[in-house]
């Protein structure tokens, strides 16, 4: 039997019709209500002539209607494209043209960029939520429809979702995720960490990233309640957690850092909060420890859009001495460390490319066979990350393969140097990139964002490296910046740093 993603919502509505499913500003929907809304989305799309295989783009912040569009479109074989609302209008136009979207459903607050790009994109259907424009209103359109269950179209390996990569190394690529990919990602999440039925989850990590979306699918699978928070507010989040009796949420490290500094944390009732999932970049062991001291367990997750989300977890009940690792692979997932040179599998603690196996591996990049061929080999995904596995199977991410600096024939991993640099008093953030050098080929250069009112000098940084690193690893120059440039999930934009190179 091949599964359509919409079956998840339909089956949950059948089993738990009155269970609270989605909560947000001004609404509390049960699973029965959300399934009906998904059916109405399917009817609206079909009535507008949108057919199986067409792409429907959705532009909106974290809200029930965004994920409802995904389930409704999936039921009739339509592919959803979740757009990053933080992008510039020009960048949105690139994605909409790349995926040749037939329709765009957008929130009223994004009317300006939508109007700006209309002449440059080929969408023929526009629907606006809370419409103040000439476009039909999303909720009004839904109310015209019966909400009856449609005949399912599309399943298994058919595409259900396009998520565009952050473009840290170039133009964004559309990661094509199938119904099967999304189903198995949900299984991997809900069977690896403590994902209890009827738990209450706070959706604050952006839905346009797989780390924000995949938990919603697991919530439907397990019959959990999703509380949607459109914008991250480190002070307000603690009152939401207390008021909604939140049990768990997904974050990135920068969120955790801001949250723990807020006075609201001490004032809020956190008795229901069991765990926080954190990923997007490595979570510092001292940050995990700081939350542990307050009785909150942090799970570290390492993931990739091309793997439909989570690859590995370090959970709070794993050995503490492994907390600086990425943990172990998710249920039904497999990680092998292969030689970038010959593809052979490497032994324990040998550094190679992290390669991913299992039903979560994406089907390819949208309309980009050349890029697909580079990373999909015999059904497994070449992550582009360098890493190793220890004898117990714990995965350690060393660095990005493309970020690795080769200086005088020696491999230098910027992440190792960066971990040292942030131990220097007065350093808030650090990033290391390679600079072309006639003698050595490349040399490492450190970009430093000092803490406010802190005094840290180039000499301090060079001395720290001299005392702790081999000669070939030591940074050869230091650049001070106000902040390290990052994308929306906290990944450092090293291509931007290259343009700032002295």
Answer positive or negative: Cα dihedral of 317, 318, 322, 323. Answer: negative
DSSP label at residue 105: E
- Cβ atoms 301, 279 nearer than 8 A: yes
What's the residue count for the chain? 502
Contacts of 293 (CB under 8 A, 6+ apart): none
The overall average pLDDT reported for the chain is 93
- Cβ atoms 201, 186 nearer than 8 A: no
Q: Within the chain, which residue ranges are assigned CATH 3.30.300.30?
A: 403-499
Query: Residue 248's closest CA among 269, 268, 275, 226?
Result: 275
- Cβ atoms 288, 323 nearer than 8 A: yes
Cα angle 487, 491, 495; round to 5: 75
3-class DSSP state for residue 458? helix
Q: What is the pLDDT of residue 254?
A: 81
Secondary structure in 3-state letters for 354-395:
EEEECCCCCCEECCCHHHHHHHEECCEEEEEEEEEECCCCCE
Rounded Cα distance between 432 and 443, Å, is: 10
3-class DSSP state for residue 168? coil
Ranges of residues in the chain with a pLDDT under 70 are 1, 166-170, 409, 488-489
| Beta bridge partner(s), residue 299 | 277
- Cβ atoms 184, 33 nearer than 8 A: no
- CATH number at 403-499: 3.30.300.30
Q: How many Cα neighbours within 13 Å face the side chain of 494?
A: 20
Rounded Cα distance between 302 and 280, Å, is: 7
Rounded Cα distance between 235 and 246, Å, is: 15
Rounded Cα distance between 490 and 487, Å, is: 5
Q: What is the largest CA-CA distance in the chain?
A: 72
Q: How far is CA 126 from CA 59, 114, 382, in A?
A: 11, 9, 37
CA 457 to chain centre: 35
DSSP label at residue 471: G
- Cβ atoms 478, 464 nearer than 8 A: no
Q: Within the chain, which residue ranges are assigned CATH 3.40.50.12780?
A: 6-389
- Cβ atoms 141, 162 nearer than 8 A: no
Residue range 105-116, pLDDT digits in tens: 999 999 999 999
Q: What is the pLDDT of residue 170?
A: 56
- Residue spans of beta strands (DSSP E) within 238-351: 248-251, 275-278, 297-304, 309-314, 328-329, 334-338
Contacts of 212 (CB under 8 A, 6+ apart): 62, 203, 204, 205, 206, 250
Residue range 9-59, pLDDT digits in tens: 999 999 999 999 999 999 999 999 999 999 999 999 999 999 999 999 999
Rounded Cα distance between 238 and 204, Å, is: 12
| Beta bridge partner(s), residue 385 | 400
Tokens of 218: 């697991």
Please state the pTM of the whole predicted model: 0.85
- Cβ atoms 447, 481 nearer than 8 A: yes
Contacts of 314 (CB under 8 A, 6+ apart): 299, 300, 322, 323, 325, 326, 327, 328, 394
- CATH number at 6-389: 3.40.50.12780
Surface-to-core class of residue 426, CB atoms within 10 Å of its CB (0-12 exposed, 13-18 middle, 19+ buried):
middle
| Beta bridge partner(s), residue 86 | none
Residue 100 main-chain phi, psi, to 5 deg: 45, 60
Q: How would you list the strands of the sheet with 200-203, edge to edge?
A: 27-30, 20-24, 225-228, 200-203, 248-251, 275-278, 297-304, 309-314, 328-329
């Amino acid at each position: 039997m091949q599964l359509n993603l919409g079956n998840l919502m339909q089956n949950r509505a059948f089993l738990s019709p009155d269970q609270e499913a989605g909560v947000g500003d001004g609404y509390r929907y049960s699973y029965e209500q959300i399934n009906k809304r998904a059916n109405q989305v399917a009817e609206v799309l079909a009535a507008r002539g949108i057919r199986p295989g067409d792409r429907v783009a959705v532009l909106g912040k974290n809200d029930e209607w965004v994920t409802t569009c995904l389930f409704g479109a999936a039921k009739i074989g339509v592919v959803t494209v979740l757009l990053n609302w933080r992008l510039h209008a020009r960048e949105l136009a690139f994605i909409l043209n790349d995926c040749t979207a037939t329709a765009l459903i957008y929130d009223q607050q994004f009317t300006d960029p939508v109007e700006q790009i209309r002449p440059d994109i080929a969408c023929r259907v526009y629907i606006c939520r809370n419409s103040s424009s000439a476009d039909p209103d999303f909720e009004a359109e839904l109310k015209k429809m019966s909400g009856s269950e449609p005949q399912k179209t599309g399943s298994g390996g058919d595409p259900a979702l396009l998520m565009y990569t952050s473009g840290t190394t170039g133009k964004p690529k559309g990661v094509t995720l199938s119904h099967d990919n999304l189903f198995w990602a949900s299984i991997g999440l809900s069977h690896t960490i403590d994902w209890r039925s009827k738990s209450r989850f706070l959706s604050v990590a952006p839905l346009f990233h797989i780390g924000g979306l995949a938990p919603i699918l697991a919530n439907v699978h397990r019959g959990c309640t999703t509380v949607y928070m459109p914008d991250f507010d480190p002070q307000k989040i603690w009152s939401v957690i207390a008021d909604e009796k939140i049990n768990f949420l997904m974050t990135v490290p920068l969120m955790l850092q801001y949250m723990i500094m807020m006075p609201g944390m001490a004032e809020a009732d956190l008795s229901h909060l069991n765990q926080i999932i954190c990923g997007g970049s490595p979570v510092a062991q001292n940050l995990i420890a700081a939350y542990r001291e307050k009785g909150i367990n942090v799970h570290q997750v390492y993931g990739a859009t091309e793997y439909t989300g989570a690859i590995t977890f370090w959970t709070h009940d794993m050995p503490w001495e492994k907390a600086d690792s990425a943990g172990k692979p998710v249920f039904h997932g497999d990680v092998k460390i292969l030689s970038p040179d010959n593809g052979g599998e490497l032994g324990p603690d040998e550094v190679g490319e992290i390669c991913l196996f299992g039903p979560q591996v994406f089907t390819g990049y949208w309309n980009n066979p050349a890029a697909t061929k580079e990373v999909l080999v015999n059904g497994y995904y070449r992550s582009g990350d360098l890493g190793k596995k220890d004898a117990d199977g714990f995965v350690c991410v060393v660095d990005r393969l493309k970020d690795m600096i080769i200086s005088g024939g020696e491999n230098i991993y910027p992440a190792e140097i960066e971990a040292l640099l942030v131990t220097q008093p007065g350093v808030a953030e650090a990033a290391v990139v390679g600079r072309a050098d006639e003698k050595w080929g490349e040399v490492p250069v450190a970009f430093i964002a000092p803490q406010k009112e802190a005094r840290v000098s180039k000499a301090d940084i060079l001395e720290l490296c001299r005392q702790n690193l081999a000669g070939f690893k030591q940074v050869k120059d230091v650049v001070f910046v106000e902040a390290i440039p990052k994308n929306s999930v906290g990944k450092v934009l090293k291509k931007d740093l290259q343009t700032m190179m002295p």
